[in-house]
Amino acid sequence: MATIHTNCLIIGSGPAGYTAAIYASRANLNPIVIEGVLPGGQLTTTTEIENFPGYPEGITGSEMMDELRQQAERFGAVVNEGIIEKIDFSARPFIAVDDSGNEYEAKTVIIATGASAKYLGINDEKTYAGRGVSACATCDGFFYRKKVVAVVGGGDTACEEATYLSNLAAKVYMIVRKDYLRASKVMQQRVMDNPKIEVLFNTNTVSLFGDGKVQGANLVRFKGTDKEELFSIDIDGFFLGIGHKPNTEFLNNQITLDEGGYIVTQGHSTATNIPGVFAAGDVADPHYRQAVTSAGQGCKAALDAERFLLENQ
């Protein structure tokens, strides 16, 4: 199969990948986007987006990503289906191979593969995805004003999500499988002092229920012991707070990652430890994980790639 040459290979779509493609196209870099396992990224699983500038009436995640893709293609970006399975960063130009055996030779690479939310693994998480199940309180909390929600997890992420939601919801349950919180002392205290948050220790989620949307959760306390107790709570929203996993496996440890597996970028730029390789969006952002910040990083990555090519002809 013939090798496909490009000045800029963008691995991953979503706000970061498509925005990088828009800017790279306008800079005449003739970028190629490899969409990845979920074309459009995680936002395509979000029913309504109301916090992205320029959409006063809101927009679905799928619609927004479709518009971003069309905008990138309008300026000449090539958007291909596929998953990059391996890539060699040992020398420029870089060589990448997708799951169909297509080989790409790229002078620069922008990694925008995102981070996947960790799920419990119960079937109801998929059944109610976008209909009460969420992995982002900042994204979806607005829809649960004065309602009752639950957050699963006992670490800093869960405590942050619960605290954020307590400013919107009428009540927040924290479902914690251990008998303690793993979060930092400050976050623990913040949760325990919050009258809107009730922590359910030693508790696991069995299933969710509801007619078309989440209306409650079936739980078990002291699972597998002689004190095991089944009970249910009425909730309107179920938030996963057990962390995210950056999609970096295919990099095969060629790029410097932090302890959480996120790509480490240099200073204020999107540059990685490999000259000519840049990272944007959730794959390099353990803190914000918002569509608008990912789009901004996609812009920066394309500008960084353009500057790199000018300086390294």
What was the pLDDT predicted at 212?
93
Q: What DSSP string describes 226-253?
A: TT-EEEEEE-SEEEE-S-EEES-GGGTT
Query: Quick one: average pLDDT of 150-154?
Result: 95
What was the pLDDT predicted at 45?
67
The whole-angstrom separation of Cα 290 and Cα 146 is 23
What was the pLDDT predicted at 44?
74
The whole-angstrom separation of Cα 141 and Cα 49 is 11
The pLDDT tens digits of the residues spanning 63-102 come to 999 999 999 999 999 999 999 999 999 999 999 999 999 9
> Could you say which of 8, 139, 159, 299 is catalytic?
139
Q: Is the pLDDT of residue 205 over 70?
A: yes
What was the pLDDT predicted at 46?
62
What was the pLDDT predicted at 47?
61
The whole-angstrom separation of Cα 19 and Cα 280 is 10
> Could you say which of 140, 236, 285, 304 is catalytic?
140
Query: Quick one: average pLDDT of 215-235?
Result: 96
Q: Is the pLDDT of residue 119 over 90?
A: no
Total Cβ atoms within 10 A of residue 3: 11
> Could you say which of 8, 136, 159, 299 is catalytic?
136
Q: 140 exposed, middle or buried (CB, 10 Å; 0-12, 13-18, 19+)?
A: buried
User: Active-site residue 139, yes or no?
Assistant: yes
- Strand 197-200 and strand 203-209: pairing? unpaired
User: Active-site residue 159, yes or no?
Assistant: no
Question: What share of the chain has pLDDT > 70, as a percent?
Answer: 99
What was the pLDDT predicted at 171?
97
What was the pLDDT predicted at 221?
97
Alpha-helix residue ranges (DSSP H) falling in the chain: 14-26, 61-74, 123-127, 137-140, 156-166, 185-192, 291-311
The whole-angstrom separation of Cα 134 and Cα 111 is 25
The pLDDT tens digits of the residues spanning 258-282 come to 998 999 999 999 999 999 999 999 9
Q: Are 10 and 32 in contact (CB under 8 A)?
A: yes
The whole-angstrom separation of Cα 48 and Cα 33 is 25
Threshold 0.85, pTM exceeds? no
pLDDT tier at 1, thresholds 50, 70, 90 = low
The pLDDT tens digits of the residues spanning 41-58 come to 777 766 678 888 999 998
Least confident residue range of 89-93, 137-141, 175-179: 137-141
The whole-angstrom separation of Cα 309 and Cα 313 is 6
User: Active-site residue 136, yes or no?
Assistant: yes
What was the pLDDT predicted at 190?
93
Q: What does the mean pLDDT of the chain come to?
A: 93
